[in-house]
Chains A and B, each alone.
Chain A
Amino acid sequence: MELLGLDVLFKGSNAMRLLQGLGIAVEISIISVVISLILGMLFGIFMTWKNPVAKVISRIYLEIVRIMPQLVLLFIVFFGATRALNINISAELSSIIVFSFWGVGEMGDLVRGSLESIPKHQYESAAALGMTKGQIYYHIVIPQAVRRLIPMSINLVTRMIKTTSLILMIGVVEVMKVGQQIIEANRMASPNAVFGIYGIILLLYFLVCWPISMLARHLEKKWSN
């Protein structure tokens, strides 16, 4: 215990604070993931439109999402909005905005990819069997697209959750932040705390991400045609 500095964890409310930090990170992830999944579906369908304007808009959006590191986006939204627009956005809200902006783009591209991966002949065979457009989507296209989509989107969700540790950089009271505070406060009394606390943080992230990864792999296997 002494060696890893884990005694620090049981001092005062340290353990409680660490869990609260994780709680906020998870909350930000969940909200962003839900927004990303819902708006991403719509954005993905929008991207399959033949309309050239729709194509250009989605192209630009995707390029921004792909090129800009989330960290830069976080700074732009959090500090930029405060400076330039003179509005005060909380760190939590700016994190949610940035992760959703990112997630909607990525999710949209996954949805577009799954829809476009269904060959034209699947539509035509179904049409030749007398199905209406609605029946073709409901019975043939969407079930196949969803099977391709689910493992990929779970993978995206895992990545989104992992990336929440970025939030620390702009001062959200989140796992890493709390961890750091605990370490700082105990630097003299327990110099090894840095190993223990970061170890615990790693463990916490693992506990959140691992079941999701396992689920992703399981579904991938089950639905690989």
Chain B
Amino acid sequence: MANEGVLRIEKLRKSFGDNVVIDGLDLTVQPGEVVVVIGPSGCGKSTLLRCINGLEEIQGGRILLDDQEVDGRSKDIARIRQKLGMVFQSYDLFPHKTIIENVTLSPIVVQKRPKSEVIAEGEALLQRVGLLDKRDDYPRQLSGGQKQRVAIARALAMKPEIMLLDEITAALDPEMVHEVLDVILDLAREGKTMIIVTHEMSFARAVADRVIFLEGGHIVEEGIPEQFFTNPSTDRARAFLRTFEFDAVRSHVPKLQENDAASA
């Protein structure tokens, strides 16, 4: 099939009542591509990912994965969603299942794959995210960063064609951000197709093949990260990127100690 693994979004329109959140958006994601979506809070980044996964009803346009329409109301939606792995900001593990059960539940009951095979794969995935020793724990025993890594493993266990990540580190303590993002960088290196919403700019720069800046329901600017982050072509993107910087307010420049000055 010519369009194997290709996601095509055509003239997507999504509104909540009178509030038009996405207004005629076009986007094509090629297999192996990592697209990072950034933009101000409330610009519709989460809504876009939720539309791609059929969790929101859309008011216009269409979304095609492998030439099949993604439609939240259709009977086929559960089958199409198996090709889309989604990780939310709030991880949402199943609290009544152990870690390994969280990871293996869906492949067993949805894809009806042999249990022993699924468990072996689940253990390999836990190994990969560094949590095999937590195999039989319950989610409440894990830290936020550990839970989020399990959520990533749980999504990967379905062998999705595309991963959708919605601000997966936004709810984490700063020291846990890295352990989670390292897993994603590893996936990118391996060639996994991903659409990533994030506010971690240095991560965005490292992981993206293409950056998309969303505002007012449209793609305002898109480009390769080097160009987008160092020399954005629109004022809006420039203004947005400036909000991540701080100007120095130091009024006293501390005198350097003798030995510090010498070693400097």
Contact = CB atoms under 8 A, between A and B. Distances in A.
A140 B81 CA distance: 17
B94 interface: yes
Interface string B42-72: 0000000000010100000000000000000
Contact of A129 (B90, B95, B154): B154
Contact of B79 (A119, A130, A135): A130
Interface string A111-131: 000000001011011111111
Given A124-B88, A131-B109, A225 B158 contact: no
A221 B215 CA distance: 49
Contacts of A132: 78
B78 A122 contact: no
B21 interface: no
Nearest to B108: A139
Given A129-B110, A129-B154, A225-B140, A124 B92 contact: yes
Contacts of A128: 53, 55, 81, 84-86, 88, 155
Contacts of A124: 55, 88, 92
A contacts with B: majority SS: helix
Interface residues on A, range: 10 to 19
Interface string A129-171: 1111001000110011001000000000000000000000000
Contacts, number: 63
Interface in A205-225: 225
B229 interface: no
B204 interface: no
A149 to B, nearest CB: 13
A40 B158 CA distance: 38
B158 A130 contact: yes
B96 interface: yes
Contacts of A121: 88, 90, 92
B82 interface: yes
B168 interface: no
Nearest to A121: B92
Contacts of B96: 143-144, 147, 225
Nearest to A119: B92
A121 B171 CA distance: 15
A122 B82 contact: no
A124 B154 CA distance: 14
B203 interface: no
B105 interface: yes
A80 B7 CA distance: 70
B98 interface: no
Contact of B92 (A125, A135, A147, A225): A125
A194 B37 CA distance: 80
Most interface-central of A119, A126, A139 (chain B CB within 10 A): A139
B15 interface: no
A121 B85 CA distance: 15
Contacts of B78: 127, 130-132
A225 B95 contact: yes
A122 B106 contact: no
Contacts of A119: 92
A135 B110 contact: yes
A119 to B, nearest CB: 8
Interface string B142-163: 0000000001001100100000
B160 to A, nearest CB: 9
A129 B85 CA distance: 7
Interface of A: 119, 121-122, 124-132, 135, 139-140, 143-144, 147, 225
Interface of B: 53, 55, 78-79, 81-82, 84-86, 88, 90, 92-96, 105-106, 109-111, 138, 140, 151, 154-155, 158
26 contacts: A119-B92, A121-B88, A121-B90, A121-B92, A122-B92, A124-B88, A125-B88, A125-B94, A125-B151, A126-B94, A127-B81, A129-B82, A129-B110, A130-B78, A130-B81, A130-B106, A130-B111, A131-B109, A131-B110, A139-B105, A139-B109, A140-B94, A144-B94, A144-B95, A225-B95, A225-B138
